[in-house]
């Protein structure tokens, strides 16, 4: 798989702008992400694995949406994002 770090960083800049400009969104986003780590639905990647060059590294993009019925933030992972003609969905 092609390294999608630069693609992920571009998307991250947009997310960072939104988190910076909307404190309510940031607080809910941060809380939801902390819950995912606490509940072990996600885990932090060890630092030595962040720079793999063997095609074993792919950054999963994410953003938040408001759930209309629950009236809270839900983090959505974009596994179908295509970079270099590849996505996790196409594997």
pLDDT in tens, 66-88: 878 877 888 888 888 887 777 77
Q: What is the share, in percent, of the chain residues with pLDDT greater than 70?
A: 93
Scanning the structure block, which residue is given the tokens 């074993």?
56
Residue 29's contacts (CB-CB under 8 Å, 6 or more residues apart) are 19, 64, 73, 75
Instruction: For the chain, give every domain's residue range.
Output: 5-90
Question: What was the pLDDT predicted at 38?
Answer: 96
């Amino acid at each position: 798989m092609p390294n999608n770090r630069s693609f992920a960083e571009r998307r991250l800049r947009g997310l960072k702008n939104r988190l910076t400009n909307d404190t309510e969104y940031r607080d809910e986003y941060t809380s939801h992400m902390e819950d995912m780590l606490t509940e072990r639905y996600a885990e932090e990647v060890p630092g030595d694995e962040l720079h793999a060059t063997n095609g074993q590294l792919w950054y999963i993009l994410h953003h938040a949406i408001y759930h209309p019925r629950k009236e809270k933030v839900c983090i959505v992972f974009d596994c179908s994002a295509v970079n270099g003609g590849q996505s996790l969905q196409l594997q």
